[in-house]
């Protein structure tokens, strides 16, 4: 007979959503909170480990952001232009990105509670830094609306801070503890079965909070749900996010939500590892992200452009651009810049794969593209770029191409200042959009439209997004719904 243990709250997972839920439950009065993490201790934390940890949230501008970064020099802070971001701005971004398909109630919850959730993190000791991704012009730093800070130390920095806080609160973290079954039905959940080294055991609790991530690291599930060659694509985050807890929930009778054929997919270095793209040692973000395409053109292996690189700031397009790359021959493309574009790069590129040449023809030959085609593409693009509007990397500048089949709507500067560079890219999946439905209390809903007693969820396992995603919303969603899940799980009992 397998042994049976008891606790108050079980949290499945070891990423940021899990820590936030566990800490909120403990703060709300749960005596014994146990986190069950499938990964070994050296690899705990799921996608959080690889995350840039940027947070998008409603705020009133520079003075409020200053409270998150009190230690940075006054002179440096004075160079930062940080515009306010209202609830209406955040809602409009979510609406536009998801084409109005996101659950309204949950979108409102996310927006309305984003500020309180991020301040909650600050109040319990999480340290912050200004985002590195901003435009630098004439010694000033211009931040986009809504995105100004990230957690100090990036992915590992965030996890280390969460773990310290959790352990100080007496939360128990069990590594190498995959959950392989749920106890309960579509009316009530009472515990889980854990597949431990020394055999299965049952852990029973007043509530279970599922924070086990998406299914992006499972090629079989990607092929089944996302289709279109997604089984062969690279995975930017944790190899442990394989979706089995999501399947257990669906089998129980949980209602599914979000877009199951879609996910957050962005351009990454074509030579990135198949899983788990590394961060910079100093926490400056991921070494393999290639988000700077607005300042150049992108062509496929045939030398042809295939999307509007300047549709909007990358924060509004990068999560769908990976899928566009996946659809190209060999699932590859090349981001091409001249010296003007290279000066605008915001993401750390020092470990990037690229080729460089003094002419477009030589660049094409080095990249393995037919030179005549790439030269034609660049000449056609340069002819369509106009001098009517000044170039301004700080904002969507309206400097658009004219009379070309695939437009570039902003930042259409000519590719004419050598040496030129071509960065090979492919598609990397970040997380999947299909998941379980929750209500405003982060309680999981059943297919009979009832909240399931004792069952809550937060993070990528929740189905929320459709089509696209405004950057840095994942971490905020985790904080908002993780906090709600922890509080609600305790309040229900
Ligand atoms: C390269 C990269 C950069 C990113 N940058 C940002 C950013 O700057 N801002 C932002 O908002 N978002 C960013 N994201 C997305 C964000 O990090 C994720 O949305 C977020 O980390 C998801 O959190 P989670 O806790 O739901 O899932 P995860 O962090 O993936 O955690 C899931 C956990 O569940 C565990 N688990 C899985 N199965 C089981 C099981 N059977 N039993 C027990 N445990 C299980 C896993 O081991 C893992 O610990 C980025 C992601 C990546 C990959």
Orientation of helix 16-27 relative to helix 473-491, angle to 10°:
30
Residue whose CA is at the smallest distance from ligand 1 atom 46: 46
| Cβ proximity of 133 and 148 under 8 Å | no
Q: Is the pTM of this model over 0.85?
A: yes
Residue 485 has pLDDT above 70, yes or no: yes
Overall average pLDDT of the 409-432 stretch: 98
DSSP-assigned beta bridge partners for residue 151: 128
Per-domain residue ranges for the chain?
A: 3-215+433-491, 265-428
d(CA 414, CA 341): 9
Residue whose CA is at the smallest distance from ligand 1 atom 38: 212
Residue whose CA is at the smallest distance from ligand 1 atom 9: 472
Residue whose CA is at the smallest distance from ligand 1 atom 3: 51
Each residue's pLDDT tens digit, 31-84? 999 999 999 999 999 999 999 999 999 999 999 999 999 999 999 999 999 999
Overall average pLDDT of the 322-339 stretch: 97
* Mean pLDDT, rounded, of the chain: 96
Residue 279: what pLDDT?
A: 83
Each residue's pLDDT tens digit, 80-117? 999 999 999 999 999 999 999 999 999 999 999 999 99
Each residue's pLDDT tens digit, 139-152? 999 999 999 999 99
Each residue's pLDDT tens digit, 230-273? 999 999 999 999 999 999 999 999 999 999 999 999 999 999 99
DSSP-assigned beta bridge partners for residue 255: none
Overall average pLDDT of the 341-352 stretch: 80
Q: 3-215+433-491 is classed in which CATH architecture? A: 3-Layer(bba) Sandwich (3.50)
Q: Does the domain spanning 265-428 belong to CATH 3.40.50.970?
A: no
Test site for ligand 1: of 21, 40, 47, most ligand atoms within 8 A of the Cβ: 47
Overall average pLDDT of the 383-391 stretch: 93
Residue 283: what pLDDT?
A: 65
Compute, in angstroms, the gap from residue 45 CA to the centroid of ligand 1.
7
């Amino acid at each position: 007979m397998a042994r049976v243990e008891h606790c108050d709250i079980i949290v499945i997972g070891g990423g940021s959503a899990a820590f936030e839920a566990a800490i909120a439950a403990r703060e709300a009065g749960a005596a014994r909170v146990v986190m069950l993490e499938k990964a070994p201790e050296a690899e705990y934390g799921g996608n959080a480990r690889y995350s840039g940890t940027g947070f998008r949230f409603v705020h009133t501008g520079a003075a409020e952001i200053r409270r998150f970064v009190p230690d940075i020099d006054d002179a440096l802070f004075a160079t930062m232009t940080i515009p306010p971001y209202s609830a209406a701005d955040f809602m409009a971004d979510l609406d536009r990105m998801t084409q109005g398909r996101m659950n309204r109630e949950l979108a409102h919850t996310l927006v309305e509670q984003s500020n309180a959730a991020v301040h909650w993190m600050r109040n319990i000791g999480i340290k912050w830094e200004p985002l590195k991704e901003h435009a630098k012009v004439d010694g000033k730093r211009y931040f986009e609306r809504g995105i100004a800070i990230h957690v100090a130390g990036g992915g590992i920095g965030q996890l280390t801070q969460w773990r310290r806080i959790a352990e100080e609160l007496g939360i128990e973290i069990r590594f190498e503890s995959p959950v392989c079954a749920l106890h309960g039905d579509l009316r009530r959940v009472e515990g889980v079965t854990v597949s431990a080294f020394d055999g299965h055991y049952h852990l029973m609790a007043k509530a279970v909070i599922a924070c086990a991530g998406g299914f992006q690291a499972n090629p079989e599930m990607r092929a089944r749900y996302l289709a279109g060659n997604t089984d062969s694509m690279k995975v930017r985050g944790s190899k442990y996010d394989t979706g089995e807890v999501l399947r257990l929930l669906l089998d129980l009778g949980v209602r599914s939500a979000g877009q199951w054929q879609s996910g957050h997919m962005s351009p990454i270095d074509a030579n990135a590892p198949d899983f788990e793209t590394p961060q910079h040692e100093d926490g400056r973000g991921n070494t393999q992200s290639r988000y700077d395409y607005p300042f150049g053109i992108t062509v496929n292996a045939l030398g042809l452009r295939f999307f509007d690189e300047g549709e909007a700031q990358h924060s509004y397009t990068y999560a769908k651009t990976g899928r566009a790359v996946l659809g190209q021959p060999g699932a590859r493309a090349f981001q091409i810049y001249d010296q003007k574009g290279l000066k605008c790069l915001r993401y750390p590129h020092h470990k990037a794969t690229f080729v460089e040449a003094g002419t477009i023809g030589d660049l094409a030959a080095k990249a393995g593209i037919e030179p005549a085609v790439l030269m034609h593409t660049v000449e056609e693009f340069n002819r369509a770029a106009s001098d009517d509007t000044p170039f301004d990397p700080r904002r969507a500048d309206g400097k658009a191409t004219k009379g070309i089949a695939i437009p570039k709507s902003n930042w259409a500067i000519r590719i004419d200042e050598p040496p030129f560079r071509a960065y090979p890219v492919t598609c990397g999946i970040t997380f999947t959009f299909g998941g379980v439905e929750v209500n405003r209390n982060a309680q999981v809903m059943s297919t009979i439209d009832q909240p399931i007693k004792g069952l809550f969820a937060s993070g990528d396992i929740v189905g929320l997004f459709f089509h696209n995603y405004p950057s840095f919303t994942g971490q905020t969603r985790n904080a908002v719904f993780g906090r709600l899940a922890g509080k609600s799980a305790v309040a229900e009992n």
